Amino acid sequence: MPFVLGYQKPTLLRYTRDQLLLLHPSRTLAPQLPRELWARTPSEHGRPRKRGKRGGVRQRLWRRADRPPLPSMILCNARSLKSKVDELRSNTRVEHEYRDSCLLVFTETWLQEDVPDSLVALEGFSLVRSDRNANSGKSKGGGTCVFVNQKWCSQFTTRVSVCNPDIELIGGPEGRVVSHGNGRHTTSCYLALPGQQREEP
């Protein structure tokens, strides 16, 4: 008698849409989640959440018109600015941290009065200098300079510039800052205390 292998046809399982939805994890927000974190609900003031890439930045700036934000600033001990001006120019062209900075402040520039501004000038920035002079009592070192971004402040006045054995100071630049159509006055002061004192004869 021949051997016959039995084969049983598999049973197909069928699910309805409602059954499949029950298998999916619930997206209900946890009850302990604060309401202000809900993405698609109005805020407590009844205003809908702002959409778009700016998200109301301009409106927030207009609301804080009398409280302008602090300017961005880069402070550096240059130790001879002339030897680093090529790198600085490259940074202001490529690096947005330098290009968009409101102020670039450098101490120990080692500049003298016979060095023209064009030698250390940066495109898009105005230069304010307080160079080493005869009153400083130094043959090397000293000097302070500030590069003011013209997009941030195009007209300014330097109130005081001092370079002596005890202190190096640039009082100012004081100018009218333009921010989204609103003009605001700002005053800045940069002070450097030399680390080594002059030796008296």
Dump pLDDT digits (tens) for 154-195: 777 777 777 776 677 776 555 544 433 344 555 566 566 555
pLDDT category of residue 131 using cuts at 50, 70 and 90: confident
Residue 153 pLDDT = 80
Q: CA-to-CA distance for 21 and 198, rounded, in angstroms?
A: 83
DSSP single-letter state for residue 145: E
Q: What does the mean pLDDT of the chain come to?
A: 73
| Amino acid at position 159, single letter | R
Domain ranges of the chain: 69-192
149-to-4, 139, 193 alpha-carbon distances in Å: 93, 31, 25
- Domain 69-192 listed as CATH 3.60.10.10: yes
